[in-house]
Every structure is written in C-alpha cells, then in structure tokens.
Amino acid sequence: MSSLETQLRQMQRILAISHALVSNRSLDDILHQIVQVAAELTDCETAGILLAEDEPNTLRFVAVSLYEDRLFNLPVPIDASIAGTAFTRNQPIIANSPNADARYYSKIAELVNYPARSLLAVPLKFHDRKIGALEAENKNAPQRFDHADAQVLTALAAQATIAIENARQIERYKQLAQAQQELLRMTDALRDASTALTSTLDYDQVIDRILEQIAHVIPSDTCNMMLIETANIARVFRGRGYAPFGTAATLNTTTLNVAQVAGLRRMRETRRSIVVPDVTRDPTWVYSRPEHHWIRAYVGAPIIVRDQVVGFLNVMSATQGLYTETHGERLQAFANHAASAIANAQLYRQAQIEIAERSKVEAELRHHRDHLEEVVRARTAELEHLAITDSLTSVFNRRHLFILGEQAIEQARRYCHALAAMMIDIDHFKQVNDAHGHAAGDLLLKKLAEHLQANLRAADILGRYGGEEFVVLMPETDLETARQSAERLLADIRTVRLITETGPVGFTTSIGIALFVPQDNAGIDALIQRADRAMYAAKQAGRNRIFSEPVTDL
C-alpha cells in the first residue's frame, strides 16, 4: 500500500470516528475515545490528552490510555515538557530520544517507572486559543515517530479539539439550561451536522446539511456560506431560503470585497463571530445586492481552516433586534463543522489527484519494469562473475580460489575423501615477455588457461594464483590419478604454439602436486604451499616436468 493510500485510509478512519467524538456523550467518554484512537492511528503503546489549567503555566492529564490513575494528579509544566513545547509553539514536536531531550519531563517516567523511547506531541488549538496537547508515546521501539505520524495526529487533534469544545459547550448548556427546548434543538442540529460531516466526503452535501440545521436553531429568513476565492473577494458558495426573494438563481454570482466590508473584515481579523441586531443603525453595513434591502438583522461567523479564514457563515432576518451574542456562539459551532468539511474535502481531493497521478506513473513504469529487471539481473550476474574471476584469463581469481579451496578442504575432511592440489608455472615466462613483448605474455597466459580448462574435469577448481602460476584443486582425487592428469596436461601444453609478430612461440610448464589427507588439520594455504614447493623442485630438476610430495622425479 502506498503512503498516499495509507494517508487516505487514515483520514477516512478519522472521519469515521468524528461522529462518535461529537455525539451526545460525556466529556470524559470523548476524551478517552480520543486517546484510544490516537494510540491506534499512530500504532503506539499509550496516548494522553493534557489540557491547560487555570493555574498559570501548567498542563494536566485528563485522559490517558495507560497509567491514568497515576498521572491525573501530576501537574506538567508548560515550559519544561515536550507537550508544553508543542502547546507553546503551536506545532508538532517529535522526540525520538526523549531521555536525551532537555524538554522531557522525567517525573512522568519516574511516576510510571517506565521511560519513554519515543514521543510525539501536537497542540490542541481552538481558533486562536490553545487548550492543551495530544501526546503519543512508545516505550519499547526507539525512533518510532515520523512526519507522517505527526500529520495523522494533527488531523485527529483538529477533530479532537472540536469534539472537546463541543462537549464542553454541551455540558455548559446542560448545566445552565437543561430544561430549554432550544438547547435540545441545538444539540440535535450539531449532531446532524456532525453526521453529515462523517457520512460523506462531498462537502457540497455537508454544507447543505449544515445550512439546513442552522435554520432549525437560529431563526432566519436566509443563510449562506461564502468562500474567499482570492485575497479579498468572497463569493456565495451555497445558500438557503432565497427563492421567496427572487435571488436564488443569481446567488452564486454574489460577491463582496472582504477588505471593503467592515463586518467581513472584522471577522477575518478577530476570527470571531459578529452580531448586528439592526443593520439600519449600523453605518458600516453593506448590502451585497439591491434585492437584499429587506434584511434587518444579521449574524456571521468566520470559517477557519489551518489557521486561515477561508470563508464565512451568514444568517439574515427581516426582523430587527432578533439576534444576540448567543446566536453568534451557536453559529460559530456550525462554522467549525463547515471548516472541517472543507479541510477534509481538500485533503480527500488532493489525495485522489495524487493517487491518480501516481497510478498513471506506475502504469508507465510497469511498461519498462520487466526490461529493467532483466538488465539488473544481467548486470548483477556480470558483476558477480567479475568479482570472482581473473580479468585476463577468465578463471577464478586468487580470492575466490581460496574461498572454494576452504570449502573443498572442509568437504574432504568431513567425508574422509582425498583432495589433490597442482601448482602449474610457465617455464621461462620472463624470457617470453622480454623477447616477444607483454602482449605475447598475456596471450600465453590466456592460452594456458584455455588448455587447462579443456583438460580438467567439471568438478576440478582452476584459479590463477598470481603472475604465471595457476592452481588446480581436484576433489576426491588420489596421488596417482592426479599424476595422470598432470601428465596429460604437460603433454598437451608441449604441443601449443602461439603466433606472434616475432614468430611462433612454444612453451612448457612445471607442475607440483600435493595431496591433502582427511587427518590433516591444515587449511588450503598449507596445501597450496606444499604443491608450490613440489613445483619449485620440478623447476630445479630441469623444468618441463612433474614433481609431487614426497618429491619424486617423474
């Protein structure tokens, strides 16, 4: 699964739990739901929520997936903790070595008797007001968290902040006016808006549902949502109730310059809702169209996405003095849902576009993949061959000869089999180089390697030992059989003639033979050295002959 698909699934998971988070449950239930989901999405061992205290410069745990009975009474200083740093800086903080981080509040580890190995904290911010931090922690796996985890936890924190604030608001309403039917309608409307938010990623449908629910809890004749298309121009995106006034068909062409409309400008600057009880008494009021002169009362709220005001919710009535600050607070709750719908839709659309682009690229890459894999396999085989062979003669190089030799020694020792080694050296090789040149010497070495390969068994191991010396290892071969093979090699080499620019060149070799016996504890080095001594004995005896241990002239 690609990282984009993973991100999409995580976002869908966040959407799936949003309804539960903003449902009509207690704040305590919601807080515990948040930490459980945080631990699930970041695949960590424990997560916790810390909220700002009335006491200055202090955070306190209000929900933890582990150790809650030990942490709830622990005040956490904002200026001396990782969660406090995320709270203060308003950005995610990743500490993959928290014990070495000066911001780590070690009293938490001391209290639970288990230090953190990696820690991630993101701020909980409601508009321009910071309310706390959401923290995820691993105690076993170091270097666990990365930027993707921070993005996921930040997305959850946005939902969690709305859920926490909604829960707080609902509790305040229940405490102050449980008997008021208006509060019940508000709660139902918010719940329905939340359901719309979690039931589809089509934010056109979500906004229509939000506008519908606004009409249930805020008395109005019309309501709309405006989005800022450029730096200052805001256009009506969706609206409700305009048909009786004859402007429904032209609603989407209605625009206002935010910089020139005092109410919109003030909402963008303060990020707070505004209430105009009587627009006829407000000298700054601007009608968006001549057909809207019927408006007498107005309430608006900014829509904030990622700390940017991206639009406004507007509610209008023909009744003067209808709206109060309470209506502004209610409308802001719906604006928060509208912001989440916009943010989720933007993320979803971006992910869909990127996945489509990635699929297109992957389809193109698949067209070339088989060829590239074949090239890689061929190149790998070539490199492996070059790593073990001598570049001039194409037989095994010295390093690989010793590797195979040690394996042959081990096999011979384990199964009590004989193993013979031959050292083959070209006689008077320097004279050939001096008389005919190094090119002729190289050709002689290659010709010798070809004749050796042609006269050896498939099981025999041939390698260039160095210079003009070659080594042959002959598994399961006794001394007599090795001598017979050496005699055939010697006879074949005597017939070789090289054609050079200075004339034909013949050559001979001296061969030394040594035999490994299973009782011998020595390695391949010792066996080759014994064959080398036998070869030098052959040279001292006149060259062009074979010697073996014990040294016997053949």
Residue 307 — left, alpha, or beta (φ > 0 → left; ψ -120 to 50 → alpha)?
left
Task: Note the CATH number of domain 200-349.
Answer: 3.30.450.40
For the ranges 247-251, 367-371, 460-464, 503-507, which has the lowest average pLDDT?
Answer: 367-371
- Residue 30 corresponds to which tokens in the numbers above? 């919601």
Are 528 and 535 in contact, with CB atoms under 8 Å apart? no
Burial of 61 (0-12, 13-18, 19+ CB in 10 A): buried
- Residue 475 corresponds to which tokens in the numbers above? 């598994």
The 8-class DSSP code of residue 23 comes to S
**Other residues' Cβ atoms within 10 Å of the Cβ of residue 517:** 12
- pLDDT at residue 200, as a whole number: 60
Please report, for the chain, the start and end positions of each structural domain, with discontinuous segments joined by +. Answer: 3-170, 200-349, 398-548
Query: Considering only the top CATH level, what class is 398-548?
Result: alpha beta
Give residue 71's Cα distance to chain centre. 32
Q: Is 445 helix (H, G, I), strand (E, B) or coil?
A: helix
Mean pLDDT of 166-188: 63
d(CA 534, CA 510): 9
pLDDT tens digits along 529-554 = 999 999 999 999 999 999 998 644 44
- pLDDT at residue 484, as a whole number: 95
Most confidently predicted of 29-33, 64-68, 482-486: 482-486
d(CA 200, CA 338): 13
pLDDT tens digits along 147-157 = 888 888 998 88
What mean pLDDT is reported for the chain? 85
pLDDT above 70 (res 5): no
Same fold, 3-170 and 200-349: yes
Higher pLDDT pick, 420 / 109: 420
In the numeric block, the tokens 């090239």 are attached to: 375
Instruction: pLDDT band for 178, please (50, 70, 90 cuts).
Output: very low
**Other residues' Cβ atoms within 10 Å of the Cβ of residue 292:** 15
pTM, full prediction: 0.38
- Rounded to 10 degrees, what is the CA torsion of 182, 186, 191, 196? 120
Burial of 365 (0-12, 13-18, 19+ CB in 10 A): exposed
- pLDDT at residue 551, as a whole number: 43
Q: What percent of the chain has pLDDT over 70?
A: 86
- pLDDT at residue 389, as a whole number: 93
d(CA 426, CA 467): 10
Task: Note the CATH number of domain 3-170.
Answer: 3.30.450.40
Q: Which amino acid is at 187?
A: T
Smallest Cα–Cα separation from 300: which of 349, 257, 260, 264? 264
pLDDT tens digits along 35-65 = 888 888 888 888 899 999 877 889 998 888 8
d(CA 343, CA 306): 8
For the ranges 242-246, 349-353, 531-535, which has the lowest average pLDDT?
Answer: 349-353
d(CA 37, CA 432): 82
Mean pLDDT of 412-437: 92
- Span between the terminal Cα atoms of the chain, in Å: 71
pLDDT above 90 (res 182): no
